[in-house]
């Protein structure tokens, strides 16, 4: 299970989603460590159900770093699969 899925079980997912979104929006450095952390945050946001995180993921599809872009696309794909499954 993902971090957000686990946290959702104890009722703190909204707070964690806000923290992750805030971290993702901070002025980015181009250091490899920062970019790895950002890519991980973007991936985790794929488990969020909020509209705000959806907008962030869509914006990160055009990020300068390939890893961040790839994680955004994968995260959006996960969200789409979950949404399709839930709408059945």
pLDDT tens string 8-63: 665 556 777 788 888 888 866 788 988 998 998 898 888 887 888 899 999 999 99
Please give the pLDDT value at position 63: 94
* Helix locations, the chain, DSSP H: 3-9, 13-25, 32-45, 51-60, 66-86
Please give the pLDDT value at position 87: 84
pTM: 0.78
Question: Distance between CA 65 and CA 9 in Å, rounded?
Answer: 32
More confident residue, 86 or 12: 86
Question: Distance between CA 64 and CA 85 in Å, rounded?
Answer: 32
Question: Distance between CA 61 and CA 10 in Å, rounded?
Answer: 30
Please give the pLDDT value at position 7: 62
> Of 85, 1, 79, 10, which is closest to residue 45 (Cα–Cα)?
79
């Amino acid at each position: 299970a993902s971090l957000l899925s686990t946290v959702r079980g104890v009722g703190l997912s909204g707070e964690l989603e806000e923290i992750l979104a805030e971290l993702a929006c901070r002025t980015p450095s181009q250091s490899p460590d920062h970019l790895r952390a950002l890519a991980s945050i973007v991936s985790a946001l794929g488990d969020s159900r909020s509209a705000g995180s959806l907008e962030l993921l869509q914006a990160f599809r055009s990020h300068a770093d390939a890893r961040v872009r790839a994680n955004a696309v994968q995260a959006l794909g996960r969200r789409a699969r979950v949404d399709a499954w839930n709408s059945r």
